[in-house]
Chain A
Amino acid sequence: MTDLSIKTIAIGGAAGDGIREAGINFSEFLNELGYKTFSSFDYPSLIRGGHNYARVSYALGTVHADYRELDVLVAVNAESVFIHQHALKPTARVFVEEAYMNELEGVTANLIPIPMKKIAEDTKAPQVARTSSAFGAYGYSLGIPLNRLKELADKVYANVGSEINVALVEKGYKHAEGLGVTQDVCATPEEYGEIGEVIDGNKAIAKGLLAAGLEAYVGYPMTPSTSTLQFLAKMAKKRNLKVVHPEDEIAVLNMALGMSYAGKRVAVGTANGGLALMQETFSLAGVAEIPIVIMVSMRMGPATGVATHTSQGDLQFALHAGHGEFPRFLVAPGDVEECFECAADALNIAWKYQMPAIILSDKHLSESYKSVLINEKAKGPDLGKRAVPVDGHYLRYKVTDDGISPLAFPGKKGVVVKATSYEHNEEGEATEDAAEVQVMQDKRYRKLQGLYEDFNWFPTVKTYGDPNSDVVVVFWGSTKGAILEAAKQLKTPAKFVQVLWMEPFDANRVKRELEGARVVVDVEANHTAQLAALIREKTSIEIYNKVLKYDAQPFTPSELAAEINKFI
């Protein structure tokens, strides 16, 4: 008989102890075993010391968010036990560094001492790998035969030298066996579903962009957007990508617009602070109608803010990016799978409509890992309206019924392509003529008509739960995970409405989903209920019940359920 409930492991230690890597290794191991995982990472903005932890929730079915309540804690130091002991379930096991046992007198938890440091020394392994012996002890407690565990560990540690890590795993396993740690009964293989991969939102965004034909990526490192840049930089040679890290975010977007103008499908990535630096250039993309995708991953502001922690505080900022009025596209994925899909869609839409497109993520979505099955072939490139061979004269900003001017690139015989930051005529030459100014604005805004039609083909809004419930919970972005888990703990079944397309906004659909509800609750990780404000602006529906979290931590399922239950 297998326990089908969700289990959670935390691995805690100091920065520099390899906690993040250990968290990913545990997730991959559980994934390889056949479980579905969700892992989040909490780390301060420093390189050594402090407290880092990774938290992995897993089950046989999909897990949308990690839980606070722990079944297992791997503690590399004593501090980790003190910080997390209040989250331990009564049955929880704590695999703790043996050297700190004397500091833990009086702690009532089920402490299992593992001499991680000593095992690493004896094995001549670097200390940063020492959690691998705890991994072995944990594997023993799951009731996995040693050979099977070694086989899985060999796969999990393939990138970092599996031989030494497998040796640590084996020693940890035998140590636990020697201590007589109790063993669970492991699920049988037929209970598992198809095994996918464990990736985070940033990597899924990169994969989505690649699927839609990305040829270049430009970025400047800023948490929590950096890993997309690093992932693509690593892939550059293999995928024939141009990946550039220039002097600052302003250069990033200007360089990318130069590449786009000259014919490359290009995206940039940054955090909300970087988007702030890019404002004027964002506006240039709007007036010059240069296709570009900007992945923006939010962290807690204002200013440098809480640099390595999450927030949904910049929906309205991103929606209003750039000075002046021009159409843009903004999509907010809510989980790793949607990161892939929305990124591919954003690239295609940017090129189809020749406008800037923002993919709005946040730290919790960008850097949390999930077991997913992504079909990379499900998305492909849509190249947009290319210039038909021109007879003599090419007009970059030709006025058309759908507002889309055929797109040509410099370097083609007989074709002159003029782009400009000034308002312009059809040629692309600056104009101050009142009639021309208005014609060109109208032309740009006509492109929205096409996007309104696209509402029929894209998931602008998604719903979950009981479609007939008179309790409606509306949300966006990374809160999706906690919402779908919290759904299991509500007093009455609710309908959950997720808004993905923020601009253009599918007002009719949102209205339809909210109208007639007895209770509507808005859930957001910000102070000012920015989605609720957008809904009010677009639909005139005022949402009075709000669950807002702005302590830079993501929602956890149980606390969110408790908050929503107050309104039911």
Chain B
Amino acid sequence: MSLDLSTEAEVTWCPGCPNSQILVAFRQAVEGLVNDGKVELHNIVAGSGVGCHGKISDYLDVSTFNSLHGRIVPTLTGIKLANPKLNVVGFSGDGDSFSEGFNHITHAARSNSNITVFLHNNQVFALTTGQATTTSPKGFKGGTMPDGSINEPVNPVLIMLVMGATFVARTPASDIAKTKEIMQAAMMHKGFAFVEIIQPCITFFDTREHFKNAVYWLDAKHRKGNIDYAFKVARMNTDEKVPCGIIYQTEKPTFEELV
């Protein structure tokens, strides 16, 4: 059965923005899960923060909560606490959860809140027309740092592993089929699931060519249940090689079970 998850809201992302690929991947992920009987459509709640990614709430015909900049993660935990039957996912950005809301996402990982966070990482504040975020490379020239960013970038996957996330993955938005699969695995995971989605900003920081060459997929030799392997893969992230796939997965009691 094909599900129409679109709304009447006009899509206002830049034409060609990889956010649209993330939207398509998510709609397909939901359709697959619903058709396979794994999730009931009315039990899906999708939250988002504020930034370009946040507009996704308007484009999804499911229950949504478009929160404030940086604050979507505790909102998601609240939703899951209130009704454990809900499958709670959230879209966030590198500005939204690794600059403004850094303390929330780290604590949610630490407490293994049973929610899923998709991080649209475009390494730039785009909706405010191009400033450095915490994931921008050192030297990135943006409106607030015209001589280049003076800080080292953070590595979201590594931080999530350190904070105790029980599902950590990375995927490029350009690969819709793989992104869909990883989204489904994350949504089916019991515990805090974190997916970094590489989402080049075609207007303010176009990294499409770079990631086309740098992305590679983890193969069957990668032991995703082994934290040492996971840390090794997470630290490998360099300008040349960006490993994608499910980097780590384990099971622990969830926050919502323990509260």
> Which of chain B's residues 68-127 have a Cβ closer than 8 Å to chain A?
68, 71, 74-83, 85-86, 103-104, 107
CB distance from B115 to the nearest CB of A (A): 10
Question: CB distance B7 to A216 under 8 Å?
Answer: no
Question: CB distance A411 to B83 under 8 Å?
Answer: yes
Question: CB distance A419 to B64 under 8 Å?
Answer: yes
- Encoded as 1 (CB less than 8 Å from any B CB) or 0, chain A from 408 to 442 comes to 01111111111111100001111000000000000
Question: CB distance A246 to B42 under 8 Å?
Answer: no
Question: CB distance A256 to B83 under 8 Å?
Answer: no
Contacts of A422 in B (CB 8 A): 66
Question: CB distance B82 to A264 under 8 Å?
Answer: yes
Would you call B203 an interface residue if the criterion is a C-beta within 8 Å of the partner chain's C-beta atoms? Answer: no
Would you call B45 an interface residue if the criterion is a C-beta within 8 Å of the partner chain's C-beta atoms? Answer: yes
Q: Which of A185-193, A247-255, A446-454 is the interface stretch?
A: A247-255
Would you call A4 an interface residue if the criterion is a C-beta within 8 Å of the partner chain's C-beta atoms? Answer: no
Given that A254-B74, A410-B45, A429-B7 are contacting pairs, would A262 and B79 also be in contact in the complex, using a CB cutoff of 8 Å? yes
Given that A254-B71, A415-B42, A419-B64 are contacting pairs, would A262 and B103 also be in contact in the complex, using a CB cutoff of 8 Å? no
Contacts of B85 in A (CB 8 A): 411
Given that A254-B71, A430-B55 are contacting pairs, would A262 and B78 also be in contact in the complex, using a CB cutoff of 8 Å? yes
A216 and B103 alpha carbons, distance in the complex (Å): 23
| Interface residue tally for chain B (C-beta within 8 Å) | 37
- Encoded as 1 (CB less than 8 Å from any B CB) or 0, chain A from 205 to 227 comes to 00000000000101000000000
Would you call A98 an interface residue if the criterion is a C-beta within 8 Å of the partner chain's C-beta atoms? Answer: no
CB distance from A200 to the nearest CB of B (A): 26
CB distance from A214 to the nearest CB of B (A): 13
Question: CB distance B58 to A429 under 8 Å?
Answer: yes
Given that A248-B103, A280-B68, A420-B65 are contacting pairs, would A262 and B7 also be in contact in the complex, using a CB cutoff of 8 Å? no
**Which of B7, B40, B75 meets A427, CB within 8 Å?**
B7
| Interface residue tally for chain A (C-beta within 8 Å) | 44
A469 and B103 alpha carbons, distance in the complex (Å): 57
Question: CB distance B42 to A254 under 8 Å?
Answer: no
A151 and B239 alpha carbons, distance in the complex (Å): 77
**Which of A255, A411, A421, A427 meets B86, CB within 8 Å?**
A411
Contacts of A549 in B (CB 8 A): none
Chain A: which residue is nearest B107 at the CB level?
A247
Q: Is the interface of A mostly helix, strand, loop or mixed?
A: mixed
Chain A: which residue is nearest B256 at the CB level?
A242
Question: CB distance A259 to B74 under 8 Å?
Answer: no
**Which of B40, B55, B64, B74 meets A258, CB within 8 Å?**
B74
Question: CB distance B75 to A257 under 8 Å?
Answer: yes
Chain A: which residue is nearest B64 at the CB level?
A418
Would you call A281 an interface residue if the criterion is a C-beta within 8 Å of the partner chain's C-beta atoms? Answer: yes
Contacts of B43 in A (CB 8 A): 410-411
- Encoded as 1 (CB less than 8 Å from any A CB) or 0, chain B from 186 to 199 comes to 00000000000000
Would you call B63 an interface residue if the criterion is a C-beta within 8 Å of the partner chain's C-beta atoms? Answer: yes
Given that A419-B64, A420-B65 are contacting pairs, would A414 and B42 also be in contact in the complex, using a CB cutoff of 8 Å? yes
Would you call A44 an interface residue if the criterion is a C-beta within 8 Å of the partner chain's C-beta atoms? Answer: no
A427 and B64 alpha carbons, distance in the complex (Å): 11
Would you call B250 an interface residue if the criterion is a C-beta within 8 Å of the partner chain's C-beta atoms? Answer: no
**Which of A259, A410, A412, A420 meets B81, CB within 8 Å?**
A259
A412 and B43 alpha carbons, distance in the complex (Å): 7
Contacts of B86 in A (CB 8 A): 262, 410-411
Would you call A381 an interface residue if the criterion is a C-beta within 8 Å of the partner chain's C-beta atoms? Answer: no
Contacts of B61 in A (CB 8 A): 416
Question: CB distance B82 to A254 under 8 Å?
Answer: no
Contacts of B66 in A (CB 8 A): 418-422, 430
Would you call A53 an interface residue if the criterion is a C-beta within 8 Å of the partner chain's C-beta atoms? Answer: no
Question: CB distance B76 to A258 under 8 Å?
Answer: yes
Question: CB distance B64 to A216 under 8 Å?
Answer: no
Question: CB distance B81 to A418 under 8 Å?
Answer: no
Chain B: which residue is nearest A415 at the CB level?
B42
> Which of chain A's residues 232-272 have a Cβ closer than 8 Å to chain B?
242-244, 246-248, 250-252, 254-264, 266
**Which of B9, B55, B65, B81 meets A244, CB within 8 Å?**
B81
Would you call A284 an interface residue if the criterion is a C-beta within 8 Å of the partner chain's C-beta atoms? Answer: yes
Question: CB distance B7 to A251 under 8 Å?
Answer: no
CB distance from B43 to the nearest CB of A (A): 6
> Which of chain B's residues 40-60 have a Cβ closer than 8 Å to chain A?
40, 42-43, 45, 47, 50, 55, 57-58
Chain A: which residue is nearest B43 at the CB level?
A411
A244 and B77 alpha carbons, distance in the complex (Å): 11
Question: CB distance A429 to B9 under 8 Å?
Answer: yes
CB distance from A431 to the nearest CB of B (A): 9
A533 and B77 alpha carbons, distance in the complex (Å): 41
**Which of A259, A420, A428 meets B82, CB within 8 Å?**
A259
Contacts of B74 in A (CB 8 A): 246-247, 250-252, 254-255, 258
Question: CB distance B75 to A255 under 8 Å?
Answer: yes
A190 and B19 alpha carbons, distance in the complex (Å): 78
The 5 closest A-B CB pairs, nearest first, are A258-B78, A262-B82, A410-B63, A255-B78, A420-B66
Known: A259-B79, A411-B83; 15 extra A-B contacts, CB below 8 A, are A216-B81, A246-B74, A246-B77, A247-B103, A247-B104, A247-B107, A248-B103, A251-B71, A258-B80, A262-B80, A411-B42, A416-B62, A418-B63, A421-B50, A429-B7
A residues near B (Cβ < 8 Å) are 216, 218, 242-244, 246-248, 250-252, 254-264, 266, 280-281, 284, 409-422, 427-430
